[in-house]
Structure 1
Amino acid sequence: MSFYTYNVVAFVLINASIAYLQRRRDGKTAIARTQNSVQDGESGRAALTAEEAVIWQFKKKFMPVYLLAFGADWLQVWPYIYTMYKDEKSLPEETVAHLFTTGFLAAAISASFVGSLADRYGRRSACLFFCIAYSLSCFTVLFDDIYILFAGRILGGLSSTLLYSVIESWMVTEFHRQKLQDAGALSDIFGLMITGNAVVAIAAGLFAQHLADFTGTQAAPFLAAVVLLVLAFGFISSRWNENYGDSHNANVDGLLPASEEKEKNGFQYIYQGEQSYEDTEKAMLMEDIDKRLWALCLTSSCFEGTMYLWIFFKFPALKLFHEEGGKGSELPFGMIFAALMCAMMLGSLFFTYYYSLKPGRWIVSPSRMLTITLFVASTCFILPVLVHNEAVTFWCFCVFEICCGIYFPSIAQLKEKIVEDGVRAKIYGILRIPLNIFVVLGLMLTKDGKQLS
């Protein structure tokens, strides 16, 4: 086996071991809870069984839509977008760069209002609109007209904002609306989302490669993505309830009624500095929320912005060190992608397993875990610059993916605790504005080159 195949096999074995330990621990926990409920009587056991059944039904309602939506996104992986524009449509490099930049600018601009609209008119409706908009974006690749292609990137940017804001907003709000008290279940869902996303990414990457080879066109995966979006549309329309933010005038599905304070837009909600409160305790609370929101905004912008830039340049970096090592054969990009996704899965499995342990001296808070993750992730980009080695670079990239697997459920858990349900989609959208601006500036400052300095 090759170097990269060995790494894939190693990651699969490690992931399988952690998954086995997690399942074994869950089994012991279930037995312990059942024994406790027996001591509390038949009513306690019935209540426990009913809540577990509701949580299971909730996962069955949410996870298929989440995986279908992100599966459609993964089918349009960046190499296919680039090669389709550059090779199949013979567009100049500068035009391709403008198309990418347009997508991120559209995402940044749309993030300022799509969350507010979702809170006002319904997160379920916003998710249905996402399926339609992303499908239209996929269909634009069938045309050679440059204006249609730019329209496709605008729709893609809008859809990206919806994908990363309203779907999770609906899930968290619906979890609270159903008054599910098991906090561990929500952490488990966050971990399951990232684990499932990694599995879907691997499957989508392999399927897209075979589909493109079979059809002879890089546009085929985009059309396959439309099929997944149609399925997601069907699941949402038939299984999901509607939920709203506090800006909606009616008291819908048991959510809190609208209040004058919550009518603020997302920017005003985050920036509380100009607000004054007669109640000192309330003022201190709002100041604390303000600081935490700013910290979330800065963290997500830097980490996720870096991740997006890394997506563009990870393969060129490995290829550069591969050539410097005097190896003439081409890199197995499909195997590398699978290894990196397995590494991300390892991070999410670790997160789920770690927070299923009993609280103790070694269990740190999600915020402390996030701090450690950010520190480790930063070292993953220092070593490749100092040590020009293909294997070292690949392992650093794997560690970074592990950090991604820990980061996403950690940041999701923090957002769930800090952001109120009534303005959840609004704030989730606002938090993506600086992220997209960060990526656009990073791409604008990028220069072609053969050496790292």
Structure 2
Amino acid sequence: MLVTAYLAFVVLLASCLGLELSRCRAKPSGRACSNPSFLRFQLDFYQVYFLALAADWLQAPYLYKLYQHYHFLEAQIAILYVCGLASTVLFGLVASSLVDWLGRKKSCVLFSLTYSLCCLTKLSRDYFVLLVGRALGGLSTALLFSAFEAWYIHEHLERHDFPTEWIPATFARAAFWNHVLAVAAGVAAEAVACWMGLGPVAPFVAAIPLLALAGALALHNWGENYDRQRAFSRTCAGGLRCLLSDRRVLLLGTIQALFESVIFIFVFLWTPVLDPHGAPLGIIFSSFMAASLLGSSLYRIATSKSPGQESPVESFIAFLLIELACGLYFPSMSFLRRKVIPETEQAGVLNWFRVPLHLLACLGLLVLHDSDRKTGTRNMFSICSAVMVMALLAVVGLFTVVRHDAELRVPSPTGEPYTPEL
């Protein structure tokens, strides 16, 4: 298993580098890339945002292992994961309103503080303290995926008056480097936890200086901005109306809930499946992220042109395929959400999307350990397969609805809509 993990990591990383290098050679530089003011502004944003992302990814490979190291039962670990997901749902519903009320810069600094506290709770073996840590992690996650983007968009449009069409370029580059940071974070986590012999709590301690630096840079370099506060009830009501009135949005939400709930369950399952076979968890995680990066690269190339449980190797390969699918899925969903959901209703609609998503994941984790471990894991993978089939049916339904919609066709390199041959 050890050799397989390192070999897969090297092969995936080499594949990603090859695809990205070939893509960069063929991609012409745009006007935005040569604008000095825009590049300085991007750098100010990336310095803080990438530190925050790196700290987040650094904690991922050894979370389950840490709880296991503290001798908690799998059912207890499942409850900790459910607590984290539930807090993400609850705080996610109010995150946009909180950010508007508090201010985007202050919210980013608050993220650094709450996530640092979350990391510090990992030093305790007390179950209640760890539950509090998971709740703080949910708040931090909600802020990470709302405050930073909101701050950037406001500064881009209102303070600097850069063209709106430059915004996707910033977040496309951020998405690429997010994958790169995730790959590097897995290797770093493996280094501090295993190679240096500091144990599974080490990655969480190592994340604290990154969070502190991110908060300090935001406090020193960023200006504060606010937005018109929209009542939480209006945000939810508007999102629900949009969800129910447009069949495309409803199908998109169904796909997201089904697919991403399986991903959340996978995040819980991969460690107990592979760890007993001596898998290097940090390298395994980096391989997953490299597979996801490869999927994203394939997506960009495609759009720019006309499990058995007995073998750990087979399980690892299956997990890599899941991450490859994630790399294809997330940029595709991002494109569809921008086209299908009105910008004014996106916050409310996405809040409604997340509710069934996290509920399905929580129910899956609770049911998982209601039976024998081996049988429960096998049954859960079977259920996840069925859920993915349902997601596929929803994809077919969405394709049927939008197949003649020219707005949803991916632009070709010449700027004309690209229609795949059927």
Structure 1 residue 397, shift from structure 2 partner: 2.6
Structure 1 residue 234, shift from structure 2 partner: 1.9
The equivalent of 1:411 in structure 2 is 333
Q: Which amino acid aligns with 2:257?
A: S
Distance 1:396 1:287, change over 3 A: closer
Which moved further from structure 2: 425-434 or 225-234?
425-434
The equivalent of 2:43 in structure 1 is 60
Query: What per-residue deviation string (whole Å, max 9, x for no partner) do you get for residues 82-124 of structure 1?
Result: 3323323x33444333222222221122222122221333333
| Structure-to-structure mapping, 1:105-124, within 5 angstroms | 105-124=86-105
Query: What per-residue deviation string (whole Å, max 9, x for no partner) do you get for residues 161-193 of structure 1?
Result: 22233323333444444454363x444433333
> Of 378, 400, 403, which residue of structure 1 is paired with 2:322?
400
The equivalent of 1:133 in structure 2 is 114
2:79 and 2:140 map into 1 onto residues whose CA distance is 18
Structure 1 residue 289, shift from structure 2 partner: 7.2
Structure 1 residue 343, shift from structure 2 partner: 1.1
Highest CA radius of gyration, 1 or 2? 1
The residue matched to 1:445 in structure 2 has which SS?
A: helix
2:235 and 2:98 map into 1 onto residues whose CA distance is 11
Distance 1:287 1:409, change over 3 A: closer
2:20 and 2:14 map into 1 onto residues whose CA distance is 10
1:69 and 1:400 map into 2 onto residues whose CA distance is 25
Q: 1:7 aligned to 2:8?
A: yes
Structure 1 residue 424, shift from structure 2 partner: 5.5
Structure 1 residue 319, shift from structure 2 partner: 6.8
Q: 1:232 aligned to 2:201?
A: no
The equivalent of 1:343 in structure 2 is 291
Q: 1:170 aligned to 2:151?
A: yes
Query: What per-residue deviation string (whole Å, max 9, x for no partner) do you get for residues 20-60 of structure 1?
Result: 2222123xx24xx7xxxxxxxxxxxxxx4797334423431
The residue matched to 2:63 in structure 1 has which SS?
A: helix
1:117 and 1:426 map into 2 onto residues whose CA distance is 14
Of all paired residues, the percent bearing the same amino acid is 29
Aligned residues: 372
1:287 and 1:95 map into 2 onto residues whose CA distance is 36
Structure 1 residue 398, shift from structure 2 partner: 2.3
Contact 2:190 2:283 in 1 (8 A): no
2:247 and 2:102 map into 1 onto residues whose CA distance is 29
Structure 1 residue 70, shift from structure 2 partner: 1.8
The residue matched to 1:143 in structure 2 has which SS?
A: coil
The equivalent of 1:268 in structure 2 is 237
Distance 1:430 1:245, change over 3 A: farther
1:334 and 1:108 map into 2 onto residues whose CA distance is 27
Q: 1:70 aligned to 2:53?
A: yes
Distance 1:120 1:269, change over 3 A: farther
Structure 1 residue 9, shift from structure 2 partner: 2.8
Structure 1 residue 222, shift from structure 2 partner: 1.4
1:101 and 1:2 map into 2 onto residues whose CA distance is 33
Q: 1:433 aligned to 2:381?
A: no
2:374 and 2:243 map into 1 onto residues whose CA distance is 48
The residue matched to 1:113 in structure 2 has which SS?
A: helix
Q: Which amino acid aligns with 1:266?
A: T
2:88 and 2:243 map into 1 onto residues whose CA distance is 29
Q: Which blocks of at least 5 consecutive residues in structure 2 are unaligned?
A: 380-422
Contact 1:270 1:294 in 2 (8 A): no
Q: Which blocks of at least 5 consecutive residues in structure 1 are unaligned?
A: 34-47, 249-261, 273-285, 321-328, 363-383
Distance 1:179 1:440, change over 3 A: same
Structure 1 residue 73, shift from structure 2 partner: 1.4
Structure 1 residue 293, shift from structure 2 partner: 4.2
The equivalent of 2:256 in structure 1 is 300
1:17 and 1:425 map into 2 onto residues whose CA distance is 37
2:275 and 2:72 map into 1 onto residues whose CA distance is 23
Structure 1 residue 444, shift from structure 2 partner: 0.8
Distance 1:172 1:397, change over 3 A: farther
2:100 and 2:186 map into 1 onto residues whose CA distance is 34
The equivalent of 2:366 in structure 1 is 444
Distance 1:215 1:17, change over 3 A: closer
2:9 and 2:338 map into 1 onto residues whose CA distance is 33
2:24 and 2:164 map into 1 onto residues whose CA distance is 18
TM-score by length of 1: 0.71
2:89 and 2:297 map into 1 onto residues whose CA distance is 31
Contact 2:240 2:348 in 1 (8 A): no
Contact 2:238 2:348 in 1 (8 A): no
1:86 and 1:196 map into 2 onto residues whose CA distance is 31
The equivalent of 1:310 in structure 2 is 266
The residue matched to 2:35 in structure 1 has which SS?
A: helix
Structure 1 residue 263, shift from structure 2 partner: 7.2
Distance 1:392 1:150, change over 3 A: closer
Q: 1:198 aligned to 2:179?
A: yes
1:124 and 1:421 map into 2 onto residues whose CA distance is 22
Which moved further from structure 2: 166-175 or 233-242?
166-175
Contact 2:243 2:250 in 1 (8 A): no
Q: 1:86 aligned to 2:55?
A: no
Distance 1:336 1:76, change over 3 A: closer
The residue matched to 2:373 in structure 1 has which SS?
A: coil
The residue matched to 1:218 in structure 2 has which SS?
A: coil
Structure 1 residue 440, shift from structure 2 partner: 0.8
The equivalent of 1:23 in structure 2 is 24
Contact 2:188 2:282 in 1 (8 A): no
Please provide the CA RMSD for this pair.
Answer: 3.3
Structure 1 residue 407, shift from structure 2 partner: 2.3
Which moved further from structure 2: 341-350 or 215-224?
215-224
Structure 1 residue 199, shift from structure 2 partner: 2.0
